[in-house]
Amino acid sequence: MKFKIDTKEKIVVFCPEENALDANLAASFVETATTLPGLDTRNLILDLHLLTKIDDAGLEAILAVYTFMYDNNRSCAVTGLNSDLTALIKAAAPENFNFAPTMAEAIDLVMMEELERELLDGME
């Protein structure tokens, strides 16, 4: 799977350079996205603006990466999806799934959650 990553202080942006996320790429997507360099201490933004098609395996792969991040006490947001794919994922995703129409909003979402975790950790 071809992809671009952009690593920032508290965020890794993962952008697959594919127009379809299907059964052929789903396992590679999960493996790549969950083992990105620096991800162990950073939040993840999935920039999926190049995606035009997704099947059930691709949908499950996105949800698996999203769940992986929260299971490891980090945040995740999805941005760049067209309206059809957004509707498809919303139908399958948990209610609190982070969709953001723009990269700036995705960054704001994960940084707000990061701040919440820091404040909550400081209260314990």
Distance in angstroms (rounded) separating the CA atoms of residues 80 and 57: 19
- Residue-level pLDDT at 94: 83
* Mean pLDDT of the 67-74 span: 95
* Helices vs. strands in the chain: H and E counts, helices first: 4, 7
- Residue-level pLDDT at 124: 64
* Mean pLDDT of the 59-79 span: 96
Total-model pTM: 0.94
Tell me the pLDDT tens digit for each residue of 2-43. 999 999 999 999 999 999 999 999 999 999 999 999 999 999
- Residue-level pLDDT at 60: 96
